[in-house]
Structure 1
Amino acid sequence: MHACIHSAGYHGERWRQRHFSYFKSLGIPGPEPNLLWGNIREYHSTHHHKVIEKWLEKYGDTFGFYDGDVPFVVTLDLDFLEYVLVRNFQNFTDRGDELLTEQKHPLLRNSIVYAAGTQWRNIRRCVASGFTPAKLKQMLTDMNRGADIYLDIAGEHADSGREANVYELYRKLSMDYVGRAAFGVDCSFQRGPDNVLATTTKVILQSVMTGPLHFLCQSTSALGIFATPLYWIHMILGAYAAITMTKETARGDRSQKKKSRKYEEESSETEYGTSANGKGPANVPKSRVLTKDEVLLNASTLFVAGHDTLSTSLSYVTYLLAKHQDIQNRVRKEINDATSSTEELDYETVTRKLPYLSQVVSEALRLYAPVLTFAPENEGSYHKVAYQAFGLGPRNCLGQRMGYVALNLTLARLVQQFHLELGPSQGEEPLDIDCRAVVSEPAVGPWIVFRRT
C-alpha cells in the first residue's frame, strides 16, 4: 500500500513537472510556477496590473505565467497581437480559461463573455443587431432624459459649492443610460434608492475571480473530466451574483412587455424574427435564434458591463478635463461652435461634429494609468493596436458604438453648462486606480467642483 502511494505521488509529481515545463520548452521566460497552483497566488497577491507590470520589468516584453495550471502569454509585441486578434482570428476565436467556475457553469457558459465557437458567433450576430446607428438614434432620447437628471444634480452641487464624488454620480447615471436606453426600464436610478439591480451589479465584479473554489478549479484544469466534481461543488455552494442579476432581468422583462412591443414596432430595421417592413417574418437563419435563457443571461451581462465601464470611463475623462483647463476650454469651444446653428446635440453632432472631444475620450481611454502628460493630439502618433480601450478584432466590445455616444453626449452637455475643477479632497495628486478582476476603477473620487458657465 505504501509503495502504491509513493508510486502515485512520484508519477503525479512528474506529470505536474511536465505540465509546468511548457513555457521552458518553448524558451519563453517567466516566473517559476508552484507544482500545485502555478503562479496564481502571486497573480492575486495584489492588483493584477501591478503584478503584470512587475513581471514585465523582470522578464521582458514577452513572458509566460500560469493562472493556476492554465498557461497564459503576456506580450507587448503589437504586431503579434494584431496577428492573433485580427489577421489570424479564426485560430484564436475563444477566450482563455481564466474563469473556469463560470465557464463550466451550465447557464453562465452561455454568456457572450464565455461562449465559444459557433455559439459565440450566433450570440454575437444577434446581439449586435441592437447596436446599429438606427437603434442608437432611438436610444438618444432616453439618454438625454438621464443626462437631464444628472445635470440637475450637478447644478445642485454648483449652487451649494459642494464638491462631488463624480464616480458615484456616474455609476447611477450609467445605470439610467443602460436601463432606459438599452432595456426600457422606466425608472430613475439617480434619484431613487438603490434597487436590486443596482446592488447586485455592484457585487458581480467584486465576486469574480475570488474565493478558494476559484483557486482550486483554476489549479486543476489539467485533470479534465476528473475535475468535474469541483465544478459541481462550486455550482452548489458558490454565490453567483450573475444568476441573481439574470432573474431580476427576467422580472424586468415581464414588467416591460408593453413598452418593448411598442419600441420594436417603431424600429425600421430587421431584428430577430421581424422583417424590415414589419409585415411578416424575415428570413432569419435558424442559427440566429437564441433561447430564453441566452437572451436573459446576455441582457444581464450587457447591463453589468455597460454600467461599470461607462461610469469608470466618464470618471477618468472628467478628472482629466478638470485637471487640464486649457483642454477643457478647447472642448467647450468646439461644442459651442458645433451647436451655434442648431443649439442641439443631436446624433449627427455627437458622433461626427466633435472630433476634438473624441480625441480627448480616446486619449483618456488608453490603458489608463497615472500618466505624466495628457495630450489628445497623440492619437495619430501611436500604433493602432496599442489602443484597445474596447478590445480589438472580431471579439471586441459589442457596446463600443453606444459607449462613445454616451460618453460624448454626457461630456458635451456637462462641459457646455459647467466649468470643472478638481475639488479640495482631490488635490493635484494623480488619480489612484483600483482594480476588480480585470476592470479598473478610481480608488477614491475623483472629487470635482462644478461651476456654472
Structure 2
Amino acid sequence: MATLGLWVTGLLVVIVCLLILLYLYSTWNFGVFKKMGIKGPKPRIFFGNHMTIAKKGFTEADMEWWREYGDVFGYFSGPTPMLVVADTGMLQEILVKQFNNFTDRASPRGISGIMEENLSLQKGAVWKSSRSILTPTFTSGKLRKMDPLINEAADALIAHIKKNTNESNEVNFAWLFGCYTLDVIASTAFGIKIDSQRDPNDIFVRMAAKVLAVKLSSPYLTLAFIFPALMKPFSKLFDISVLDPEASDFFKQQTEKIINSRETIQQEYADFVQLMMEAHNDNPEDNGSRRGLTSKEIISNSVLFFFAGYETTSATLSFFTYFLALHQDVQQKLYEEIVTELGEEEPGYNNVGKLQYMDMCLKEAMRLYPASSRTDRTCVRDTEVNGLKIPKDMQIAIPIWVLHHSDKLWEDPEKFDPERFSPENQAKMNPYQYMPFGFGPRICIGKRLAITEMKVAIIKLLKEFVVLKCNKTKIPPKMLSSGLNKPEDMWMKVELRN
C-alpha cells in the first residue's frame, strides 16, 4: 500500500511539473508587447489569441482589434507574439527601405513535406537565389507564350455557360471560375490538359479539392499554432502535414513523372515545370551559391504555383463578376471599352493592358475582396522602425484587409467605386494602402500572369453575356472559413447579348 501511495504521489508530481512546464512554455513571452509599449488583446494560456482567429477568421479578428487598438498592435498565436502593422509609414520601412532586416516570411505552421522548399517559405540567401532564378520564368516573352493556354481554357468556360445554363440562366460562377483557373494552372504550371468543367471527376480536379480543404479551425493546425516549436519536428518525424497526404503525394508524383518524361523526350513546352527544369542544378557551386533549382525545389514550387494560382484567382474573378452584376452601369462601360479597344482581337498579355477602365474595376474588386487577408514578414535582426524597437525573430503581420477597408485611408471604403483607381487618383494614393499581391521584393511573382488570366476571362464573358444578379445572389457574399477570402458560392444570371 505504501508503495502504491508513493507511486501515486510520484505520478502527481510529474503531472504537476508537466503542467507547470506547459504553463511556462505558453506564457513566458506574454510580456513582450508590454515592454515594447504595444497594446493588444489579452492572451489566454496555451492558446494565446488563436481561438479568436479560428472562430472569426483573420478578416473579422483583425478589423475588431484594429478598431480597438489602432494601426499597430500585438496578439499571440499560441505562445508566438505577432506584431500587426497597418501604419503605412512603418510598412514602407519594413517592406522596402529596411527590407534587408525583414527578408523572411513567417515560419510555416503545420506545413511539411513537398511544400517546405518553395519560394514563399524560403529564407535569406536561399530565397534570394531562388527568386533570381524564377523571376525570368515570368518575363513578358514567357507569359506571351501562355496566351494560347489561357484562351483555350476561357473558350471552354464560355462554351460551358452556353451549353449548360438552365431555363433560368442561373450560373454558379464560384464553381465555374474554379474550373477555369484549375484548367489554366494545370496547363501553365504542369503542361497537363484537363477540362474540369466537362469532367469534374478528373483525378486532378479531385486531388485539387482535397489538397486545398484546410480550415483555420483544423485541430492539427491549432496544435501547430499553439506548439510551433514542437509540431515542426513532430511533423518531420512522422511525415504528417495539415495538407491532405494523398493529394500531396499525387502532385509530387505528377511533377516527378513530368520531369522524368521530359528528360528523355525532346519537345518544346511553355509551362513552368519546363522553365524550372531549364534552371535545374542539384549541385551547389564551390563557393556555396547556387545557379539552379534542386529537384525538390522544382517539385515544391510547382505545387506552390498551383496553390497560389488556383483559388486566389477564381475567388477574385467571382467577386469581380459579383460587382459587375450589382453595378450595371460599370458593366456597360467596361463592355464598351472592350469592344472599342479590342474589337475582334484575341485577348492576351500584349493587349489587355490597353483596357484602362477594366484595370480600374479589377483593382477596386481586389481592394474590397483581396484574395488573402494578410501577408507577413519576420524581423531577422534587431531593428528600429519609426521609433519602435523590434526584436530579432519578431513576426510581423500585415493586415491587407484592414488596409483596404480603413476609413483613415479611403473615403467610404465599403463602396465599390472604380474611379478610385483612375490615373489621376492613383497618382495621389499612398502605395502602401493597397497591396492585393503583397509589396516589395517579396511581391507575388505570378502577379502579371494572374491579372492576364482574369482579364481574358472577363473579356470573353462580357463579349457574350450580360451578367445580372438573381434570387440566389447573396448580398453580401457568404464567405467560406479558410485562410483565403473565398465565397461559398456566387450565383448570377446570364443573358446572351444581341
Whether the TM-score (by the shorter chain) exceeds 0.5 is yes
In structure 2, C-alpha distance between the alignment counterparts of 1:19 and 1:159, rounded to whole Å: 58
Q: 1:29 and 1:445, CA in 2 relative to 1: closer, same or farther beyond 3 A?
A: same
On the 8 A contact 1:217/1:231 being kept in 2, the answer is: no
Counterpart residue type for residue 364 of structure 2: E
Alignment correspondent of 1:388: 435
Say whether 1:155 aligns with 2:165.
no
1:176-205 per-position Cα deviation (integer Å, ceiling 9, x unaligned):
111223432123222223323222222223
On the 8 A contact 1:20/1:35 being kept in 2, the answer is: no
Q: 1:252 and 1:435, CA in 2 relative to 1: closer, same or farther beyond 3 A?
A: farther
Counterpart residue type for residue 94 of structure 1: D
On the 8 A contact 2:26/2:78 being kept in 1, the answer is: no
Structure with the larger helix share:
1
**1:46-65 correspondence runs (5 A):** 46-65=56-75
Counterpart residue type for residue 476 of structure 2: P
Aligned match for 1:378, one of 400, 410, 420: 420
Say whether 1:33 aligns with 2:43.
yes
Counterpart residue type for residue 389 of structure 1: P
Q: 1:384 and 1:229, CA in 2 relative to 1: closer, same or farther beyond 3 A?
A: closer
In structure 2, C-alpha distance between the alignment counterparts of 1:200 and 1:143, rounded to whole Å: 21
Task: Report the count of equivalent residues.
Answer: 430
In structure 1, C-alpha distance between the alignment counterparts of 2:223 and 2:83, rounded to whole Å: 21
Aligned match for 1:325, one of 324, 328, 346: 328
Q: Provide TM-score, normalisation by structure 2.
A: 0.78
1:9-36 per-position Cα deviation (integer Å, ceiling 9, x unaligned):
6677556544111111111111111232
Q: 1:128 and 1:243, CA in 2 relative to 1: closer, same or farther beyond 3 A?
A: farther
1:146-194 per-position Cα deviation (integer Å, ceiling 9, x unaligned):
1111111122356844200011011111111112234321232222233
Counterpart residue type for residue 364 of structure 1: A
1:247-289 per-position Cα deviation (integer Å, ceiling 9, x unaligned):
2333355566788831369xxx998459xxxxxxxxxx96131
Counterpart residue type for residue 384 of structure 1: P
In structure 2, C-alpha distance between the alignment counterparts of 1:346 and 1:109, rounded to whole Å: 33
Q: 1:372 and 1:231, CA in 2 relative to 1: closer, same or farther beyond 3 A?
A: closer
In structure 1, C-alpha distance between the alignment counterparts of 2:341 and 2:443, rounded to whole Å: 30
Alignment correspondent of 1:422: 469
Alignment correspondent of 1:431: 477
Alignment correspondent of 1:203: 210
Alignment correspondent of 1:281: none
Say whether 1:250 aligns with 2:256.
yes
In structure 2, C-alpha distance between the alignment counterparts of 1:27 and 1:149, rounded to whole Å: 56
On the 8 A contact 1:48/1:435 being kept in 2, the answer is: no
Alignment correspondent of 2:285: none
**1:209-224 correspondence runs (5 A):** 209=216, 211-221=218-228
Deviation of 1:233 after TM superposition, in Å, equals 5.6
Counterpart residue type for residue 494 of structure 2: V
Say whether 1:77 aligns with 2:87.
yes
Aligned match for 2:183, one of 138, 157, 176: 176
Deviation of 1:6 after TM superposition, in Å, equals 6.4
Cα root mean square deviation, aligned = 3.1
1:28-85 per-position Cα deviation (integer Å, ceiling 9, x unaligned):
1111112322111222123221122222222222211111111111222111112111
Q: 1:440 and 1:255, CA in 2 relative to 1: closer, same or farther beyond 3 A?
A: farther
Deviation of 1:452 after TM superposition, in Å, equals 2.6
Say whether 1:263 aligns with 2:269.
yes
Counterpart residue type for residue 446 of structure 1: W
Counterpart residue type for residue 480 of structure 2: D
On the 8 A contact 1:315/1:446 being kept in 2, the answer is: no
* Secondary structure, counterpart of 1:288 in structure 2: coil
Alignment correspondent of 2:347: 345
In structure 2, C-alpha distance between the alignment counterparts of 1:107 and 1:335, rounded to whole Å: 42
Say whether 1:22 aligns with 2:35.
no
Say whether 1:314 aligns with 2:333.
no
Counterpart residue type for residue 430 of structure 2: H
Say whether 1:446 aligns with 2:491.
yes
Deviation of 1:335 after TM superposition, in Å, equals 0.9
Unpaired segments ≥5 residues, structure 2: 1-9, 281-287, 370-400, 406-412
In structure 2, C-alpha distance between the alignment counterparts of 1:413 and 1:57, rounded to whole Å: 41
In structure 1, C-alpha distance between the alignment counterparts of 2:316 and 2:477, rounded to whole Å: 13
Counterpart residue type for residue 309 of structure 1: T
1:91-110 per-position Cα deviation (integer Å, ceiling 9, x unaligned):
1111123x3331xx354321
On the 8 A contact 1:323/1:421 being kept in 2, the answer is: yes
In structure 2, C-alpha distance between the alignment counterparts of 1:158 and 1:452, rounded to whole Å: 15
Q: Provide TM-score, normalisation by structure 1.
A: 0.85
Deviation of 1:215 after TM superposition, in Å, equals 2.5
In structure 1, C-alpha distance between the alignment counterparts of 2:464 and 2:368, rounded to whole Å: 29
Alignment correspondent of 1:293: 296
Alignment correspondent of 2:134: 127
Greater CA deviation, 243-252 or 400-409? 243-252
In structure 2, C-alpha distance between the alignment counterparts of 1:407 and 1:348, rounded to whole Å: 14
Alignment correspondent of 2:357: 356
* Secondary structure, counterpart of 1:197 in structure 2: helix
* Secondary structure, counterpart of 1:50 in structure 2: helix
Alignment correspondent of 2:379: none
In structure 1, C-alpha distance between the alignment counterparts of 2:279 and 2:223, rounded to whole Å: 43
Alignment correspondent of 1:89: 99
Greater CA deviation, 171-180 or 360-369? 360-369
On the 8 A contact 1:179/1:303 being kept in 2, the answer is: yes
Counterpart residue type for residue 421 of structure 1: L
Counterpart residue type for residue 64 of structure 1: G
Provide the identity percentage.
Answer: 26
Counterpart residue type for residue 75 of structure 1: V
Aligned match for 1:399, one of 435, 446, 451: 446
Deviation of 1:346 after TM superposition, in Å, equals 4.5
On the 8 A contact 1:319/1:448 being kept in 2, the answer is: no
